[in-house]
Structure 1
Amino acid sequence: MSELHTLRANGIRLAYRTWGDEDAPPLVLLHGRGSDGADWDPVAPALAETHRVYAPDLRGHGGSDRPGEYAFEAMRDDVVAFLDTLGLDRAVLAGHSMGAVVAYLVAAEPSARPAALVLEEPVPPDPEVPPRVVPSGPQGDETCDWRVIAAVNRWRNDPDPAWWDLLAGIACPTLVLAGGAGSHIPQDGIAAIAARVPGARLVTVEAGHLVHQERPADFLAELRSFLPAPRRP
């Protein structure tokens, strides 16, 4: 069972869940849009057999603050501050969908230096065609701050192409997990991310967008094959 915590990082309160032995090597999981750290419940207990697992609620989600600013750069800075506050040097960093975008931005930061990076169904920095509707107010069925949806949709419609260069600067071992034909994320874009990150391994698990939920055993098998056997401090 997970434990719930909060801390202040980058000027806001972040809620987060933990699993596993406090002395085990750290593994940080970043959820997708509209979810929270509980999204990792299908796989976190198994990952906690070898790692201390952390799953923060990203800003605007779950029990974390809703400051109104939801640019990916702000989420990146939150996660960097989260790692610094908890002293998680050389953590494995894994993200799904929106969380994978945050994860690859963190990995591109020279100060972050994750031990390894796992990108599950990462969103490529290519314009969405046709463009996504950007809401101007709450729609009534949001599972997160509606302004997160607006910010991410604006980015999907007009991402900074320079982010492709950021991917090329990631220096840690990287696993890219694609969901195959059942996913709404362009699979050629995911393949392009893997091709851009030096030495990245691309694996397709035919599960659709939610690989860790739809096929948790395969997700865990791929992570265990990729990650080196952890050594306790």
Structure 2
Amino acid sequence: MKLTLAGRDTYVYTGGRAFDAARPTIVFIHGAGHDHSVWTLQSRYFATHGWNPVVPDLPGHGQSAGPQLTSIEAIADWVLALLDGLGVATATLAGHSMGSLVALQAASRAPERVRSLVLVGSVAPMPVAPPLLDATLAARDKAHRMINQWSYAPGSQLGASSIPGLNLTAINERLMQRAAPGVLHTDMSACNAYTGGFDAAARVTCPVLLLSAAQDRMTPPKAIAPLANAFTSARKVNKVVLSGAGHAMMAEAPGAVLDAIWQFADSNRSSEAVP
């Protein structure tokens, strides 16, 4: 589905079903250098099980026109504007990596609009190693190799896949290569600069799921505790750690990611955002 948002052409994937604002809505937000396609399996399941998935390409990514937004705060405001443009009053927000910071910030700015919050592969703050940040600007191929090395579990790097015949690291590298020059650097810089995570978490009132993977070296599970403890006003905070996957868990363990998000989101589909 394509729409015009703030004067920009915006692409939104809806899981193969026509958008229906009357359904409960879940917004899936992709991470740095990616697009809507990283959420294909999860969003299609929601679309065929009574939900209205909204999976945008963020500005300057995929099929959405630029200019690219340069801060987590600006992208969060854009997500809320997307809900306005679609006529959606309340939604579940689910974000991966950079997208998790966007979802967190959006939920803090409009807590009355968020029924539940899913943060996948998330920590706060989310610093980016200087060699990686430099490479995203000066040596993109090197940056892509570094991201694959740190994002995938060892088995995935050797060719293991839940879907036979797929080379997960090659697919991810090609996805990042499709992005315009500078997109990955701007995204990574936004993550690196975002310092409002704890303050944002304190303003969240809805149920929260923190979903991580045991072999994640980008946002390791042991680093989640400070963020989890910052949700002082949330109705509840669930933490789930998946085995056998790394930061790219939607590709490495698509079924397990889906199960965790589905069970959490569907159990809270009638929740009010504010207690």
Distance 2:112 2:4 in 1: 18
Q: Residue 16 of structure 1 aligns to a residue in which SS?
A: strand
Call closer, same or farther: CA 1:223–1:147 in 2, change over 3 Å.
Answer: same
Moved more, 195-204 or 104-113: 104-113
The residue aligned with 1:186 is: 220
CA distance in structure 2 between the partners assigned to 1:229 and 1:72 by the alignment: 26
* Alpha-carbon spacing, 1:179–1:67, altered in 2? closer, same or farther (3 Å): same
Query: 3-state DSSP class of the match of 1:43?
Result: helix
Counterpart amino acid of residue 215 in structure 1: A
Which residue of structure 2 lines up, in the alignment, with residue 224 of structure 1?
262
Q: Deviations over 1:77-109 (max 9, x none)?
A: 211110011011111111111111111111111
Compared with structure 1, are the counterparts of its residues 126 and 214 closer, same or farther at alpha carbon in structure 2 (3 Å cutoff)?
closer
Distance across 1 between alignment mates of 2:46 and 2:68: 33
1:204 shift after superposition: 0.4
- 1:157–1:117: structure 2 CA closer, same or farther, 3 Å change rule? closer
Question: Is residue 94–residue 117 contact of structure 2 (8 Å, CA) maintained in 1?
Answer: yes
Tell me how far apart the structure 2 counterparts of residues 156 and 39 of structure 1 sit (CA, whole Å). 19
Runs of 5+ unmatched residues, structure 2: 142-175, 271-275
1:1-233 to 2 correspondence within 5 Å?
A: 5-19=1-15, 20=17, 22=20, 23-48=22-47, 49-110=49-110, 113-129=113-129, 132-134=132-134, 135-136=136-137, 139=140, 142-160=177-195, 162-197=196-231, 198=234, 199-206=236-243, 207-227=245-265, 228=267, 230=269
- Match of residue 168 from structure 2: none
Is the 1:10–1:77 Cα contact (8 Å) retained in structure 2? no
Change (3 A) 1:112 1:136: farther
Distance 2:67 2:102 in 1: 17
Q: Secondary structure at the match of 1:53?
A: strand
Structure having the higher helix fraction is: 2
Percent identity, please: 30
Offset of residue 136 of structure 1: 4.5
CA displacement at 1:229 relative to structure 2: 6.6
TM-score, reference length from structure 2 = 0.73
Aligned length: 226
RMSD: 2.5
Unaligned 5+ segments in structure 1 are: none
Q: Tell me, yes or no, if the aligned pair for 2:115 and 2:268 is still in contact at 8 Å.
A: no
